[in-house]
Structure 1
C-alpha cells in the first residue's frame, strides 16, 4: 500500500479498495478459479495485517486483530470497522462460466426471448444494469422491446436529476441508447442551450438556402 494508504483510516481504505476488488473480480470471474480468488484473499489478508501492525507498533497482535477484524455470520475474520464497513473478499464473487449458444440459434432467428435471457447471464454486465434489466423483465423502459446481444443501453433517471430526481433504483430505468436520447429531448433534462443547438443542427438555414448567387463578368458587373 502506498504511503497515503498507511495513514488513512480503516473506512477510507475499505472504500478505496472495494471498487477495485469488485471491478477486477467481475471482469475476471469467467476465466479464473475459486483457488485463485482464495490466494488473492490470502494476499489481501497479509497486506492489511502489515498495514494494521504498522499503525500500532506498540500494541499486541491480539489488540490489533480485535480492533480491525470482526466476525460476521460464518466468517470469523472480516476486515471491518466499527460502523460495519467491510473489505470485500475475492472469494465472495460467483464464478460464471461461458454458456455455449444452443444448437444453431441465431439472433436473426426471431427467438428474442432466448437471446434476452442469455444477455442477462453475461458476466460483463454491471450489477446495477443486471438489477434494472431483471426488474424490467429484459425490456427497454421506453419502447418496451427486449434487450438482445449487441444492443447498447444507458441508465436513465425517470425524473431527471436536473428536475430534482434522485440517484436511487426507484428512479432509474434501463433504456436503449437511442430511446434514451429521445426521452431526454422531451423530459426537460436537456438544457435549453442544447435543445437550441439541436434545432439549429436539424433545421436548414433558410436565409442561406434562399440567398441568390450573383455571377459577375470580368469587369465586376452583375450578370443577374
Structure 2
C-alpha cells in the first residue's frame, strides 16, 4: 500500500507522519506511538489491575505495572512521545487509585494516602513506587528535516 507522507502511516506501533513547523516552510517527519499501540497498553494496564486481586499487597500491583511500562516506554522513548506519556500517566494513576479504593473500601482518602502513598498522592509501597511516565525522557532519533522541492 502506498500512502503520502502527509497522511502518515503506522509501522511497528509507530505513527510516522510529516508535519510543518509553525511559522516556517520547514517540514519534519515525526514518529510517535500509534493510537493502536496506546490502546493496547491501556488494555494491558486494565488487565493487570484486574488480575492482581485486592487481597494481594500493593507491591505486587506496582511491580507488575512497572515491569510492563518500563519496557513499553523504553521502546517508544525514541520518538516524539512526551504527550502520549503524559496521557498514559494520568490513565495509570486513575487505574492504580481505583484498585487501591477497591482494596480499602472503608478507609478515607486521608487514611489511604498515608497507608499507600506516604502522605502524598503517588502510589508507593515500602519497596517501590509506581513509575511516573512523565519523568521518562525522550530522545528524538526519528526526526528528519525535509526541504521543500
CA deviation map 1:14-73 (0-9, x unaligned): 1111110100001011234222111111111111111111111111111112211136xx
How far apart, in 1, do the equivalents of 2:66 and 2:76 lie? 15
| TM-score, length basis structure 1 | 0.39
Q: Distance in 2 between matches of 1:29 and 1:45?
A: 20
Asked if 1:79 is matched to 2:123, the reply is: yes
SS at match of 1:88: coil
1:79 Cα deviation after fit? 1.3
Unmatched tracts of structure 1, length 5 or more: 102-224
Aligned counterparts, 1:19-38, within 5 A: 19-38=67-86
Where does 1:92-171 land on structure 2 (aligned, <5 Å)?
Answer: 92-98=135-141
**TM-score calculated relative to the size of structure 2:** 0.57
Structure 1 range deviating more: 35-44 or 6-15: 6-15
Please state how far the C-alpha of 1:3 moved relative to its aligned partner.
Answer: 4.2
Give the corresponding residue for 1:4.
52
1:100 positional shift: 7.6
Unaligned 5+ segments in structure 2 are 1-48, 145-149
Q: Give deviations 1:93-142, integer Å, cap 9, x for gaps.
A: 110111689xxxxxxxxxxxxxxxxxxxxxxxxxxxxxxxxxxxxxxxxx
Counterpart-to-counterpart distance in 2, 1:87 and 1:4 = 15
Superposed displacement of residue 8, structure 1: 2.1
- Greater C-alpha Rg: 1
- Aligned pair count reads 96
Instruction: Give the distance between the partners of 1:89 and 1:100, measured in 2 at CA.
Output: 25
2:122 alignment partner, SS class: strand
CA distance in 2, matches of 1:3, 1:27: 24
Counterparts in 2 of 1:98 and 1:58: CA distance versus 1, 3 Å: same
8 A contact 2:78–2:142 mirrored in 1: no
Higher strand share: 2
Q: How far, CA to CA, are the matches of 1:84 and 1:4 in structure 2?
A: 17
